Amino acid sequence: MSRIKIPTRDEAPAAAKPTLDAVNAQLGRVPNFFRAIATSPAVLAAHGAMGHALGKALDVKTRERIALAVAAVNGCEYCNAAHSYTGYNFAHLSPEEIALARAGKAGEPKAAAAVAFAKKVAETRGKVDDADIEAVRAAGFDDARIVEIVAVVAENFFTNLINNVVRTDVDFPTIEAPLQAA
């Protein structure tokens, strides 16, 4: 059970309602996370601005893979469920790709380098080695894309922290990877 009262759309502050309405129009509902941060219109606006800007950085599959890896590092059940759902339904990641991303891996070499680097950034809180930077560069990421990977990690840290503190009730269906042969 959530540790803060998650408002309905009608209970949310007036300044948050247009954003909640936009989320509803896009997703057909307003997930608990958005209603939780709507308790502070400033936080809701900050999240929206960062998400909008980073939505133009990297491709959607890479962003979803990073979100899954960071959620795993931070033990964020809500974000794991949410990004499994959005990764599957919007980025068209297979259940196998979702499972790989949770482990900081990917089947494609360039994607694998990005998600491995993102996982390392999350685990070390940014204190990566020179070799980590060189590995992501060798996979084809320039300095701007490296900074974008770090920013997507930070964006997901933010949502992980909110959801872990609030204990946001998970309102996304589970996407499970198929059982692996031993």
| Whole-Å CA distances, 105 to 64, 90, 100, 114, 139 | 12, 19, 5, 9, 14
* pLDDT attached to residue 5: 94
Indicate if 64 and 49 belong to the same structural domain.
no
Cα–Cα distance for residue pair 125/148, rounded to 1 Å: 15
The candidate with the shortest Cα–Cα distance to 42, out of 21, 13, 67, is: 13
Within a domain: residue 126? yes
Q: What is the CATH number of the domain that holds 20?
A: 1.20.5
pLDDT of residue 179: 42
Domain encompassing residue 139 = 60-166
Q: What is the predicted pLDDT for the residue at 173? A: 86
Same domain, 22 and 92: no
- Residue 176 belongs to some domain of the structure: no
CB atoms near residue 58 (< 10 Å): 19
Residue 49 within any structural domain of the chain:
yes
Q: Is residue 146 situated within a structural domain?
A: yes
pLDDT at 181 over 50: no
List Cα–Cα distances, 131 to 58, 59, 98, in angstroms.
22, 24, 26
Provide, rounded to the nearest whole percent, the portion of the chain with pLDDT above 70.
Answer: 96
Q: What is the pLDDT of residues 20-49, one digit of tens each?
A: 999 999 889 999 999 999 999 999 999 999
On whether residue 16 sits in a domain, the answer given is yes
Q: Are residues 147 and 80 in the same domain?
A: yes
Q: Does the CA dihedral 43-48-51-52 come out positive or negative?
A: negative
What CATH number should be reported for the domain holding residue 148? 1.20.1290.10
Confidence at 1, pLDDT banded by 50, 70, 90? confident
Q: What pLDDT, on a 0 to 100 scale, did the predictor assign at position 177?
A: 54
Torsion of CA 66, 67, 73, 77, to 10 degrees: -160
Do 40 and 127 belong to one domain? no
Interval 44-68 mean pLDDT: 96
pLDDT tens profile 106-148: 999 999 999 999 999 999 999 999 999 999 999 999 999 999 9
- Judge if 122 and 141 occupy the same domain: yes
Long-range (24+ apart) CB contacts under 8 A made by 58-61 are 58/114, 58/145, 58/148, 58/149, 58/152, 60/90, 60/91, 61/87, 61/91, 61/92, 61/93, 61/111
**Number of domains forming the structure of the chain:** 2
- Residue 177: inside a domain: no
Same domain, 64 and 133: yes
pLDDT at 180 over 50: no
Q: Give CA separation, 174 vs 68, 80, 84, 148, 155, in Å.
A: 13, 9, 7, 28, 22
pLDDT in tens, 65-76: 999 999 999 999
Residue 2 lies in a domain: no
Look at residue 128 and tell me if it is in a domain. Answer: yes
DSSP code, position 55:
T
